[in-house]
Amino acid sequence: GCVLVVSVIEQLAQWHNSTVKAAMERLCDYIPEKHNSLCLCIISFSIDREMNADVVCHSLRLCKQDPGQPLCHLYSPPKKEKPSSGLSQALAHARPKHQIRSKSFMGFSSVCAFPLLANLCEKIKYVLRNKLPFEDFDGDKFSTFPTLRGYHWRGRDCDDKNTTVYPGRRPDNWDAKSDSNCNGIWGVDPKDGIPYEEKFCKGADSKGVVLLGDSAGAHFHIPPEWMTVTQMSAKSFANLPVAFSDELDWPQFSEITGFLNSTIGGWTDSLYLRLRKRNRCNHRDLQNISQNGGSSGNLLSLIKSLARNQLLDNPAIVIYATIGNDVCNGERDTLAHMTTPKEMFSNVVQALRYLDSHLPNGSHVILTGLVDGRFLWDNLHDRYHPLGQLNKDVTYSQLYSFLDCLQVSPCSGWLTPNETLRNLTSERALQLSNVLKEIARSEKFVNFDIFYMDFPLRQTAEEWRKMGGEPWQLIEPVDGFHPSQIAAALGTGITWQKALHEWPQVLGKENPFNDQIEAVFKDQGGH
């Protein structure tokens, strides 16, 4: 965190030809007023422009070197010194200047200590623990508030004081008097006395979409303009409060449950939007039950936040997609910490049994295979990261090495120059995908049928090339790891076509009354 902030401050000073102090003040001016308490800390220390961020942060003792561990650095060591000892010598020179000040920065690593951020931190801790909406007055797991696991993650509640009213339920008495399932269709047609829900949605094979996934499914994204000083302005940080209260995830633009027009580049196309277009009665019936770091193991607790009543609700299409974390970890001996095929089988079957006891009959489950993450290194390692674009001094290879040294790499097995290790990681990923394929082939459940599909990375890249794009644009620029907005949108089309041709029963039939629904309820269709 320190290296990131100091890098941005130093580059701001360079780009605007200002002092470091002026650059700090500029950065603080950019951050929304309610969330700039951190600046009280940042602005209190001095930085020498000739010292890179590694030297500054180590000298301030905000970064440390544990005994027996390597000295981690993002930037190349100072050129004036010998490469083997350059950073150590620079630190020895810098520390006397900063060691007195360093005592005042103990709170830097805990932004929740700031009074203005304490309340937000408590809310975020709650949703991280429970993965349920923070504001849900009736306890039905749906909310009228967008972030903090609210309706960005699940269909918007239309009555948060009534636990029997929520998206996805079968209509109560055909919703003649009120909208019990929040799809905006209710009341009685005065021409014939038939409830609109009965007229338009009876026999329409309505169903919701649920994602059980990881940070890729939640759509993790750090805006590159947060650290690209040539593009930076107050507008760059306008989305900071939303981003943090959604855990740096953007499910409202995601591949499976996206429903809003993307504001982070690319465009939004999702399985939910296509199901809604196919049958307008499916309006708001979505749940994104994903978490950063989600794997087949921790999904067993996450799945308990599913909101589906077997007796009262419509069937659902459940996408099970933990595409990387069963082989990805930040451990030095990464192979030893990967999920084994036996563990994968056990975890997934347990999850499916839980779903069988909670999903209404007639539901469907699609198991998605793991990605081949060699795509990341192959397409990014020699490109410049947003932090390195101004001075051409930070490549993705350097970023990956820095994160690996800190033992916080999102994937030590793939984000490495070690080709053998990358191949072994992909080999294990293929083994786990084959487990999923076998489960789909051999396991049977009462309330849903089950299908398997490979993660469509190769087809996505081919489609993007046809459109004139480059493969690296399919990867999130800041973390160099997650699928980008473009990749998510293209992946939706590929998944939809596969389902349409191979499993048409999953998607349900097209509702012939869609146009009439839009005509009658055009003012009640907002998400």
User: Which run of H or of E encompasses 422?
Assistant: helix 419-442
Identify the residue whose tokens are 């499910």: 251
How far is it, in rounded angstroms, from Cα 101 to Cα 45?
8
The question of whether 18 is a catalytic residue gets the answer no
Q: What is the DSSP string of 155-176?
A: PPPS-TT-TT--TTBPPGGGGS
- The tokens describing 442, both together, are 């051999």
Of 170, 138, 136, nearest to 153 (Cα)?
136
How far is it, in rounded angstroms, from Cα 482 to Cα 459?
17
Q: What is the DSSP string of 28-95?
A: HHHS-GGG-THHHHHTTS---TTS-HHHHHHHTTSS---TTS----SSPPPTTS-TTTHHHHHHHHHH
Let me know if residue 138 belongs to a domain. no
User: Which run of H or of E encompasses 316?
Assistant: strand 316-321
Confidence at residue 430, expressed as pLDDT on a 0 to 100 scale = 98
Confidence at residue 33, expressed as pLDDT on a 0 to 100 scale = 75
Distances (CA, A) of 214 to 312, 395, 524: 28, 26, 32
Identify the residue whose tokens are 């039939």: 509
Confidence at residue 174, expressed as pLDDT on a 0 to 100 scale = 98
Report the CATH number that the domain containing residue 215 is assigned in CATH.
3.40.50.1110
Let me know if residue 41 belongs to a domain. no
- The tokens describing 219, both together, are 């759509």
Q: Which domain holds residue 438?
A: 208-510
* Phi, psi values for residue 510, rounded to 5°: -80, 135
Out of 215, 254, 401, 433, which one is annotated catalytic? 215
CA dihedral 457, 459, 463, 465 (to 10 degrees): 70
Let me know if residue 235 belongs to a domain. yes
Q: Which amino acid is at 464?
A: W
Let me know if residue 168 belongs to a domain. no
User: Which run of H or of E encompasses 405?
Assistant: helix 396-405
For the stretch 188-194, contacts whose Cβ atoms lie closer than 8 Å and that sit 24 or more positions apart, written own/partner, are none
Asked if 486 and 254 count as a contact pair (C-beta separation under 8 A), the reply is no
- The tokens describing 475, both together, are 């990867």
Domain count, the chain: 1
Asked if 182 and 156 count as a contact pair (C-beta separation under 8 A), the reply is yes
Let me know if residue 123 belongs to a domain. no
Confidence at residue 85, expressed as pLDDT on a 0 to 100 scale = 57
Confidence at residue 525, expressed as pLDDT on a 0 to 100 scale = 53
Pair type for strands 448-453 and 363-368: parallel
Contacts for 351 with CB less than 8 Å, ≥ 6 apart: 212, 296, 299, 300, 303, 320
Let me know if residue 264 belongs to a domain. yes
Confidence at residue 78, expressed as pLDDT on a 0 to 100 scale = 72
Per-residue pLDDT in tens (0 to 9) along the chain, 527 residues: 899 999 999 999 999 999 999 999 999 999 887 666 666 555 556 676 678 999 999 888 888 888 988 999 999 987 654 444 566 776 676 665 544 343 344 444 456 766 666 777 777 788 878 899 999 999 999 999 999 999 999 999 999 999 999 999 999 999 999 999 999 999 999 999 999 999 999 999 999 999 999 999 999 999 999 999 999 999 999 999 999 999 999 999 999 999 999 999 999 999 999 999 999 999 999 999 999 999 999 999 999 999 999 999 999 999 999 999 999 999 999 999 999 999 999 999 999 999 999 999 999 999 999 999 999 999 999 999 999 999 999 999 999 999 999 999 999 999 999 999 999 999 999 999 999 999 999 999 999 999 999 999 999 999 999 999 999 999 999 999 999 999 999 999 999 999 999 999 999 999 999 999 999 987 655 55
Count other Cβ atoms within 10 Å, centred on residue 117. Answer: 19
Count other Cβ atoms within 10 Å, centred on residue 200. Answer: 23
Asked if 402 and 74 count as a contact pair (C-beta separation under 8 A), the reply is yes
Confidence at residue 49, expressed as pLDDT on a 0 to 100 scale = 66
- The tokens describing 40, both together, are 């009280």
Asked if 434 and 426 count as a contact pair (C-beta separation under 8 A), the reply is no
Of 183, 332, 266, nearest to 475 (Cα)?
266
- The tokens describing 448, both together, are 């849903």
Q: What sign does the dihedral 428-430-433-435 (CA atoms) show?
A: negative
How far is it, in rounded angstroms, from Cα 84 to Cα 101?
28
Let me know if residue 466 belongs to a domain. yes
Count other Cβ atoms within 10 Å, centred on residue 129. Answer: 8
Let me know if residue 239 belongs to a domain. yes
Asked if 114 and 76 count as a contact pair (C-beta separation under 8 A), the reply is no
